[in-house]
Amino acid sequence: MVSATTSRRIAPLTLRLATGEHQIDPPVVLAPMAGITNAPFRTLCREQGAGLFVSEMVTARALIERRPETLRMIAPGPGEWPRSVQLYSVDPATMRAAVTMLGKENLADHIDMNFGCPVPKVTRKGGGAALPYKRRLFTSIVGAAIEAAKPFGLPITVKMRIGIDSDHETYLEAAKSAADLGVNWVALHARTAEQMYEGKSDWSAIERLVDHLKPTGVPVLGNGDIWSGADAMAMVEQTNCAGVVVGRGCLGRPWLFNDLVASFRGANVKSLPTLHEVREVMFRHGQLIVEHFESEDRGCRDLRKHMAWYLKGFRVAGPLRRQFGMVSSLSELRALLDQLEDQPYPNAVGDMPRGRTSHGRPVTLPQGWLDDPDELAVVDLEDAFSGG
Query: 295-342 pLDDT, tens per residue?
Result: 999 999 999 999 999 999 999 999 999 999 999 999 999 999 999 999
- Asked if pLDDT for residue 10 goes beyond 80, the answer is yes
Q: State the pLDDT confidence band at 380, using cuts at 50, 70 and 90.
A: low
pLDDT at 7: 56
- Which range is least confidently modeled, 175-189, 223-237, 265-279, 357-371? 357-371
Walk me through the domains of the chain, giving residue ranges and CATH numbers.
Answer: 14-271+359-366+378-384 (3.20.20.70), 275-344 (1.10.1200)
Across the range 184-210, mean pLDDT stands at 96
Q: State the pLDDT confidence band at 347, using cuts at 50, 70 and 90.
A: confident
d(CA 78, CA 46): 11
Residue whose C-alpha is closest to residue 130's, from 304, 363, 327? 363
- Asked if pLDDT for residue 367 goes beyond 90, the answer is no
For 71-102, what is each residue's pLDDT tens digit? 999 999 999 999 999 998 989 999 999 999 99
pLDDT at 4: 43
For 138-178, what is each residue's pLDDT tens digit? 999 999 999 999 999 999 999 999 999 999 999 999 999 99
pLDDT at 358: 59
Q: Which residues are catalytic?
A: 117
Mean pLDDT of the chain, nearest integer = 91
Across the range 222-251, mean pLDDT stands at 95
d(CA 14, CA 154): 13
Assign 3-class secondary structure to the chain: CEEEEEEEECCCEEEEECCEEEEECCCEEECCCCCCCCHHHHHHHHCCCCCEEEEEEEEHHHHHCCCHHHHHHHCCCCCCCCCEEEEECCCHHHHHHHHHHHHHCCCCCEEEEEECCCCHHHHCCCCHHHHHHCHHHHHHHHHHHHHHHHHHCCCEEEEEECECCCCCECHHHHHHHHHHHCCCCEEEECCCCCCCCCCCCCHHHHHHHHHHHHHHCCCEEEECCCCCHHHHHHHHHHHCCCEEEECHHHCCCCCHHHHHHHHHEEEEEEECCCHHHHHHHHHHHHHHHHHHHCCHHHHHHHHHHHHHHHHCCCCCCHHHHHHHCCCCCHHHHHHHHCCCCCCCCCHHHHCCCCCCCCCCCCCCCCCCCCCCCCCCCCCCCHHHCCCC
pLDDT at 348: 73
Q: State the pLDDT confidence band at 356, using cuts at 50, 70 and 90.
A: low
Torsion of CA 33, 38, 40, 44, to 10 degrees: 30
pLDDT at 352: 62
Across the range 112-141, mean pLDDT stands at 92
